[in-house]
Structure 1
């Protein structure tokens, strides 16, 4: 059967792009080699948030006295914590299956490769049930995502037992007493936060000179203090030399300022980035232009090959589910000749640890590097009534405005619930809001979001509640 669009990969980008194409009247098929919903839904974004919610609740129970409450000594059933996470993923996987049926999208289970075709590459599927199937379409959308990066040269390769990637860390055989986490990006920090909440001794290794290196410097510094207060240990500016399994766990050798140190733990999580799933699917044969393993595309997702689009993680950074979804929906509208969404929307980044970290737009150091003339406002949650009442007074909101035009250029937050609050800034940047717009907005009281108003006022030296 000929299709208008064949989507390869059913992660957030793939399945949402397929749905939008179907809504646009196109006949769509989606090819998935494993589980509908892809890595994000089954082994990434969703199940990790389920784990982190369990950890958050456990943290709260351990501090009942802070709220004038009492209770017996809390505990946890690790198997049930993991089981809840898997159940959440399974529920949403079923939801994607329902959406495919609702939108009359044909699901083909198997591994897809590409071969030269007439209007677009031909998709050849090695079916999970056996045999092969040729699938032709007017357009093909690559939404194949990425996998965890490993470093064989130093032994940082998952064995599923003592050396883990994120996938192993989601389904461990038992609760580890100690862990070394290599990498302090969002994935590494989230797992460090989860396992620390449940009592593990956790040490995080970061090669650069600060943790969460893509975040604003002030946020990184605040996060380091908050995580260290929770008992997480850090080694920054540290080069991992070797990862070895031992009789009791792992030994991770690191070099810091010319000195070598070996860290011992029951397990090790390798969280050093991703590798696009672009190998072995025939891209070389088609002559697809690549950039360090990622497919090159334009602002509509088009590649240099006729009829071939690429979106999401396989098409380069930022490697975020919501970025993939936006790209896929935009590409599906482009194919159908529909009105297009914003070509360059602000892409927020979130880390769902305790405390949470969220940001959108340019950082202060980024503004300086570009020679921008900016003014900055800050407001700490320790002066916010709702945060104090909730016992969540750590962290702050930081905003960056263009000094001449007043345009909002960036926002950086750390604290409770800031992954929900950052969306207000995304909308503000999209709508080209200025500091005057934010300062003239009425925020409900009492809410933590009032820190947005106060930080905006602070940029002009007119903060009220501090």
Structure 2
């Protein structure tokens, strides 16, 4: 297995439990757990969870709690993040106790041989799980000083006064929430017409409105046309639909997505076909070389850790069982900004393109007692329902804890439940979950 991120270590662990002789290769010990653990989803959620405590301070004060000038010490937060990643990294090492771990850069010598630090490793089967790398901006090259990627953000010892975030996808919106909550002036620029471009338009518009309410300056359909680096700041020219803006920032965070980490693997030597650096696979996750598999961000499936986990189990099954499996179809997408955003199943655009007749059902959290108790009743739940069968085809959520609540809709879709089925169930009160029941009755 090449790569010890979520997909790689999960696949290696399961294969070892099945009695296979497994070796996993990672660049170095500090990279165990991959991008997700070390510079991605795990530290980002640690930062966002901490910021959420700060965000609730004014509401807590209104409820009678004496909160005196709360502030964020990012150096202490970094220390806590480092402790967390080390704990989880140790857990991964324990999980891989039956797996041989080799550190170094791997590449293919031929169809059955890998090279790692000039050492040849022969294999019967191989799983490529090398993940993804930062997608470079056409003009804003990351320098680790004034132009940063998400990796460098987690090394900050002091907070900036003003930051430009380029890219309004999940990563950009999450960091916009974090820095805004910490008291930093935030400008968020997105090249496409909406934030979180993969979500339905009403979801994106609601998120944009709520971020603006918090003081984040959001510009969509906006491009960076020029930049000038100064000693301790960077001057940026933004072209918006209405005007050209010139502003100075302490630094710029570039978060325009990620790309497959496959360029150094010498895939041609193993007769593995690619398309725009993505490895091509069949439905069983085999590459054009049938005894080599690929999972995670290197293939054209959603670049999500939980997707990689599922693909890891699929490959482990297909290497050890007679019945071949395919990966899951319905995968939840979650963004941990404030308010949170989540979706699963088919969206409005997909259903319209398919010519499927569907009904949109929507319910706002304004009527939720629990949302008001928690101090945030923004957002809504939306279900997309087959017009004829009443079957739930997809759903979206914006609001309080929806990254947890979305799994209600995931289960309903996979179980092929109808709205009438859900309406007959009993949901506890007062909960956020009951809003789903309330919208159907």
TM-score by length of 1: 0.91
Q: Does 1:79 align with 2:63?
A: no
Report the CA distance between 1:342 and its aligned residue.
5.7
The one of 387, 396, 402 equivalent to 1:418 is 402
C-alpha separation in 2, matches of 1:189 and 1:80 = 23
1:129 corresponding residue in structure 2: none
1:348 corresponding residue in structure 2: 332
- SS across alignment from 1:278: coil
2:273 corresponding residue in structure 1: 289
**Structure-to-structure mapping, 1:249-260, within 5 angstroms:** 249-257=233-241, 259-260=243-244
Deviations 1:126-149 (A, max 9, x none): 2xxxxx322222110000000111
CA 1:399–1:113: 2 relative to 1, 3 Å: same
C-alpha RMSD over aligned residues: 1.5
- Any unmatched runs of 5+ in structure 1? 1-6, 127-131, 458-462
C-alpha separation in 2, matches of 1:338 and 1:307 = 15
Deviations 1:28-70 (A, max 9, x none): 1110103211110111010111011110011112432232322
2:88 corresponding residue in structure 1: 92
CA 1:392–1:340: 2 relative to 1, 3 Å: farther
C-alpha separation in 2, matches of 1:195 and 1:247 = 22
Q: Does 1:206 align with 2:190?
A: yes
The one of 381, 391, 404 equivalent to 1:397 is 381
**Structure-to-structure mapping, 1:243-392, within 5 angstroms:** 243-257=227-241, 259-337=243-321, 339=323, 343-392=327-376
1:428 corresponding residue in structure 2: 412
C-alpha separation in 2, matches of 1:249 and 1:99 = 44
- SS across alignment from 1:63: helix
- SS across alignment from 1:188: helix
Tell which deviates more after alignment, 251-260 or 19-28.
251-260
CA 1:144–1:243: 2 relative to 1, 3 Å: farther
Q: Does 1:148 align with 2:115?
A: no
C-alpha separation in 2, matches of 1:340 and 1:77 = 51
Report the CA distance between 1:362 and its aligned residue.
1.6
The one of 132, 142, 149 equivalent to 1:165 is 149
The one of 109, 116, 119 equivalent to 1:125 is 116
C-alpha separation in 1, matches of 2:88 and 2:327 = 29
Tell which deviates more after alignment, 402-411 or 69-78.
69-78
C-alpha separation in 1, matches of 2:144 and 2:135 = 15
- SS across alignment from 2:123: strand
C-alpha separation in 2, matches of 1:434 and 1:19 = 38
Whether contact under 8 Å (2:318, 2:325) holds in the other structure is no
Report the CA distance between 1:85 and its aligned residue.
1.5
The one of 112, 130, 135 equivalent to 2:121 is 135
C-alpha separation in 2, matches of 1:332 and 1:263 = 52
C-alpha separation in 2, matches of 1:289 and 1:351 = 32
Report the CA distance between 1:258 and its aligned residue.
7.2
Deviations 1:173-222 (A, max 9, x none): 42111100000000011111111110110001011111111111111111
Deviations 1:144-173 (A, max 9, x none): 00011112x41x111111111010111124
Whether contact under 8 Å (1:32, 1:111) holds in the other structure is yes
Report the CA distance between 1:27 and its aligned residue.
1.5
C-alpha separation in 1, matches of 2:393 and 2:229 = 46
Which consecutive aligned stretches of 4+ in structure 1 deviate over 4 angstroms post-superposition? 338-342
Tell which deviates more after alignment, 201-210 or 234-243.
234-243
Q: Does 1:182 align with 2:166?
A: yes
Whether contact under 8 Å (2:33, 2:92) holds in the other structure is yes
Report the CA distance between 1:440 and its aligned residue.
2.0
Whether contact under 8 Å (2:75, 2:156) holds in the other structure is no
1:42 corresponding residue in structure 2: 38
CA 1:224–1:170: 2 relative to 1, 3 Å: same
Report the CA distance between 1:427 and its aligned residue.
1.7
C-alpha separation in 2, matches of 1:405 and 1:86 = 50
2:100 corresponding residue in structure 1: 106
- Any unmatched runs of 5+ in structure 2? none
Whether contact under 8 Å (1:240, 1:252) holds in the other structure is yes
Report the CA distance between 1:338 and its aligned residue.
5.1
Report the CA distance between 1:373 and its aligned residue.
0.5
C-alpha separation in 2, matches of 1:321 and 1:390 = 29
CA 1:386–1:339: 2 relative to 1, 3 Å: farther
1:241 corresponding residue in structure 2: 225
